[in-house]
Structure 1
């Protein structure tokens, strides 16, 4: 009697990524993944101890693919900006996986490569070594927040986007000046959260790097 096929770790992660592209972390389960692979859950637990570990590994595959083709050049600001844009592009193509990354993080080879590049760029900036960890942490929080938020917006359907835009217009343009004087004053200039996301990403990152540059001694 022929036994069930043994799936490799990479094949399991690819199947998990496929499921997550059409769902989310809440609806995902090891049992569903096992069914998709035609095996049982116990065989998958030989590779991953639990669902969270598996999800972190899926997110790390995106980081690993991004960093494998990443070749840093330029000064520290250019290196950080290039890394941020590469990550934004990679997760923008897989918004559901961006949400996984933002929620569960990662800890594999891809994560280490991204961390190493960020830390090397910060060291090249001239910041004292003792100040680098805190600035690294703040920069990572900023990038994860921006990338996951943008990915979440990009994953909505055209119908959902249209409905949200209409609700935004009603809420803003219909605001009572007596109760919302500032909102009424700026109503025609305020734009929906999903507007100009690329420009907003660049502006926020640039502002943070400008602040960081001002802290460099000399």
Structure 2
């Protein structure tokens, strides 16, 4: 009787990425991955010690692909902004995996590339060396939160998105002015979370970088 096929690490990650892209991190399991590959869980543990290690490898793979041909250009703010937009685009194409990145941070090759670029940009900014680690941490927390939040909306079906927009219009435009006076006043100017996300992303990041620049001055 022929033995079961031996899957490579890359093939395992390919299948895991597809399962996470079409499902979610909560329902994902090594057992489901093994079933999709037509093997048993024990064979996968030869490649990854546990689910957490596997998830970290998947998240890092997205970073590695996003930065594969990245070439730093411009001043320090332009470098960080370009990196941020690359990550936004990468996870925007696979929104279910953004939450994986936010939860399962790694020290893999892709993660190290992103860390190196942010740290080098901050060094070029003129920040005192002792302030760079804390500033780096704040930037990464901001980016992961923005990208994960945007991906949550990007993962909605067209029907779910339309339902949400209708619910927003009814709830906001119909707000009781006595109970919600400020909301009723600004209702027609308030925009839903799903609208104009890229501009909001860039403005929030630009404001944070401007704060760093002001501290340098």
| TM-score, normalised with respect to structure 2 | 0.98
Contiguous gaps of at least 5 residues in structure 1: none
Q: 1:70: how far off? A: 0.7
1:197 aligns with 2:193: no
1:104 deviates by 1.7
What does 1:10-89 correspond to in 2, within 5 Å? 10-89=10-89
Displacement of 1:2 after TM fit? 2.1
| 5+ residue gaps, structure 2 | none
Q: Is residue 107 of structure 2 the alignment partner of residue 112 of structure 1? A: no
Partner secondary structure for residue 47 of structure 1: coil
Q: Distance in 2 between matches of 1:2 and 1:28?
A: 29
Instruction: Give the aligned length.
Output: 217
The secondary structure found in structure 1 opposite 2:80 is: helix
Q: How far apart are the structure 1 equivalents of 2:174 and 2:103?
A: 35
Deviations 1:36-76 (A, max 9, x none): 11111000001111111101110100001111111111110
Match of 2:103 in 1: 103
* Aligned-residue offset at 1:107: 2.2
Match of 1:152 in 2: 152
Report the Cα distance in structure 2 between the residues aligned to 1:104 and 1:152, rounded to whole angstroms.
16
> Within 1, Cα distance between the matches of 2:193 and 2:74?
32
TM-score when normalising by structure 1:
0.97
